[in-house]
């Protein structure tokens, strides 16, 4: 091994060492994540069960008191007529004893006051009504033993530990002025995947990994069953943090949050290039022609390409013609009017007619008017072919276009009157 080879080996070893150190630092982050999430989970378990115990015991005590109060009330209400009957009987016993004593005196002496005695004697034989035992309350307590089993079963299954959150952010894809967030289910039990009732996506502006306090600022941006969401109107080169969770059927609580993911978009939002023939507003997203003879309006650079989707939204319309579409960046001369459009152009007229590379196609989409939205979507077929999908109302057409997949395009518009107004998103 000569000196040059030794030098190259040392350089390779240094690079290898740097990578090993980086991997070792990644392990530090992994250990920290495990320990931190364990401590947080342990704290949550203790806090939750402490609150549950207090609530459970309080609920039992309240129920016990309620039943005791109810039993006591039943006792009081049941004894009241018994006491009244007893007072009546004791009163009659007393008067009867007096009658007997009076009679005994009369028997052994001269018969005086016989009339009064006779009057009291007429009361003998009238007995007060005493309820039979079967009519008297028989106070008792009972409960359903199976309820205890059910409660214990619920307690045995209270809470769970997830090795991983059941859903994770899978990909964050840059879009013009936005981020396409995709997520996937990672639960251990595959049967639970079909039981997901709803996903919930949140975002916060900033890097949550550097500033943990941002966790209090997360806000909902999507709830539903889709596994992706396009967040629009974002600031370029600013970090955004995302997290997602889910809810399983039969539950009311959301699952644990996914590990937050941070990203930025370097692509500015779709906008029109300044043109003196047009009025611009809303950060150049909305335009209106000043005259009916304005040149073709172009986007502010070739902003459109594979993986992009653009909406043309017609805020105002007219019976005169209008055109929207795409024009390739590599053309030697960009057309100023739709009639000049040839190779590298993909246009749609107000009447729904489609022109590709200057050739009219047979398929016709619905006309667009005020309130209409026409969507162009671009995807890769292979290295030398792209696919353009156009949605208008409830109809879609698809064309494969012979263009390299890395082709960049302008989005364009042209109007034959000043009464049109259009917005791009």
DSSP 419: T
d(CA 25, CA 174): 28
Q: What is the DSSP string of 30-70?
A: HHHHHHHHHHHHHHHHHHHHHHHHHHHHHHHHHHHHHHHHH
For residue 380, being part of any structural domain is answered with yes
Residues in the chain: 425
d(CA 85, CA 354): 102
DSSP 406: T
Question: Digits of tens for pLDDT over the chain (425 positions)?
Answer: 788 888 888 899 999 999 999 999 889 888 988 898 889 889 989 999 999 899 999 999 999 999 999 999 999 999 988 888 888 888 888 888 877 877 777 776 665 666 666 766 666 766 777 888 888 888 898 888 888 888 888 888 887 787 888 899 999 999 999 999 999 988 665 555 558 899 999 999 999 988 889 999 999 999 999 999 999 889 999 999 999 999 988 888 898 899 999 999 998 899 999 999 999 999 999 999 998 888 999 999 999 999 999 999 999 998 899 999 999 998 888 999 998 888 999 999 999 999 999 999 999 999 988 999 999 999 999 999 999 999 999 899 999 999 999 999 999 999 999 999 999 99
Tokens of 186: 């990672």
d(CA 161, CA 323): 57
229 and 104 in one domain? no
pLDDT of residue 96: 82
Last residue of a domain, one of 134, 156, 178: 156
For residue 397, being part of any structural domain is answered with yes
Domain CATH code at residue 200: 2.60.40.10
22 and 132 in one domain? yes
Decide the pairing of beta strands 322-328 and 409-415: antiparallel
151 and 21 in one domain? yes
For residue 268, being part of any structural domain is answered with no
For residue 338, being part of any structural domain is answered with yes
135 and 238 in one domain? no
275-291: b or e for each residue (b if 16 or more CB lie within 10 Å)? beebebeeebbbbbbee
At 222 the three-state DSSP class reads: strand
For residue 273, being part of any structural domain is answered with no
197 and 108 in one domain? no
Domain CATH code at residue 393: 2.60.120.920
Q: With the CA atoms of 113, 115, 118 and 122 taken in that order, what torsion angle do they form, in degrees rounded to the nearest 10?
A: -140
342 and 408 in one domain? yes
107 and 40 in one domain? yes
d(CA 205, CA 233): 12
DSSP 396: E
Long-range contacts of 125-133 (CB under 8 A, 24+ apart): 128/85, 128/88, 128/89, 128/92, 129/85, 130/85, 130/89, 131/81, 131/82, 131/85
For residue 416, being part of any structural domain is answered with yes
197 and 257 in one domain? yes
Last residue of a domain, one of 107, 122, 156: 156
344 and 227 in one domain? no
48 and 23 in one domain? yes
**If you search the block for the tokens 């960046």, which residue do you land on?**
329
Number of domains in the chain: 3
Last residue of a domain, one of 263, 298, 330: 263
At 335 the three-state DSSP class reads: coil
412 and 309 in one domain? yes
Residue 43: burial class (beta carbons within 10 Å; 0-12, 13-18, 19+): exposed
Q: With the CA atoms of 187, 207, 424 and 305 taken in that order, what torsion angle do they form, in degrees rounded to the nearest 10?
A: -70
Helix (H) or strand (E) holding 263: strand 261-263
381 and 329 in one domain? yes
**Angle made by CA atoms 313, 314, 317, in degrees to the nearest 5:** 175
Q: Are 249 and 195 in contact (CB under 8 A)?
A: yes
For residue 270, being part of any structural domain is answered with no
pLDDT of residue 188: 62
Domain residue limits at 361: 278-424
For residue 161, being part of any structural domain is answered with no
Q: What is the pTM of this model?
A: 0.67
């Amino acid at each position: 091994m000569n000196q040059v080879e030794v030098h190259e080996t040392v350089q390779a070893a240094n690079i290898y060492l740097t990578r090993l150190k980086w991997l070792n630092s990644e392990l530090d982050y992994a250990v920290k994540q495990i320990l931190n999430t364990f401590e947080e989970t342990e704290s949550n378990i203790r806090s939750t069960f402490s609150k549950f115990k207090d609530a459970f015991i309080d609920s039992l005590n309240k129920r016990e008191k309620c039943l005791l109060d109810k039993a006591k009330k039943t006792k009081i209400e049941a004894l009241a007529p018994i006491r009244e009957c007893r007072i009546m009987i004791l009163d009659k016993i007393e008067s009867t004893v007096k009658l007997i004593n009076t009679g005994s005196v009369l028997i052994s002496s001269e018969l005086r006051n016989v009339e009064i005695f006779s009057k009291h004697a007429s009361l003998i034989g009238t007995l007060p009504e005493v309820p039979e035992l079967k009519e008297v309350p028989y106070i008792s307590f009972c409960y359903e033993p199976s309820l205890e089993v059910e409660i214990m079963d619920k307690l045995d299954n209270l809470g769970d530990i997830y090795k991983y959150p059941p859903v994770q952010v899978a990909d964050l894809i840059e879009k013009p002025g936005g981020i396409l967030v995709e997520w996937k289910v990672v639960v251990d039990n595959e049967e639970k995947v079909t039981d997901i009732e709803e996903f919930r996506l949140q975002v916060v502006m900033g890097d949550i990994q550097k500033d943990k306090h941002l966790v209090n600022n997360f806000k909902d941006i999507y709830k539903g069953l889709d596994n992706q969401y396009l967040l629009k109107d974002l600031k370029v080169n600013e970090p955004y943090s995302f997290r997602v969770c889910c809810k399983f059927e039969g539950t009311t609580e959301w699952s644990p949050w996914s590990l937050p993911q941070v990203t930025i978009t370097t692509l500015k939002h779709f906008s029109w290039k300044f043109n003196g023939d047009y009025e611009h507003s809303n950060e150049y997203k909305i335009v209106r022609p000043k005259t009916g003879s304005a040149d073709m309006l172009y986007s502010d650079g070739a902003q459109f390409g594979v993986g992009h989707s653009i909406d043309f939204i017609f805020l105002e319309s007219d019976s005169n013609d209008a055109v929207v579409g795409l024009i390739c960046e590599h053309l030697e001369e960009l057309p100023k009017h739709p009639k000049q459009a040839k190779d590298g152009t993909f246009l749609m007229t107000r009447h729904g007619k489609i022109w590709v590379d200057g050739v009219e196609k047979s398929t016709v989409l619905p006309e667009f008017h005020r309130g209409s939205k026409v969507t162009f979507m671009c995807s890769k077929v292979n290295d030398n072919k792209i696919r353009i999908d156009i949605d208008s109302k409830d109809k879609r057409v698809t064309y494969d276009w012979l263009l390299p997949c890395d082709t960049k395009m302008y989005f364009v518009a042209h109007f034959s009157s000043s009464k049109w107004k259009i917005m791009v998103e």
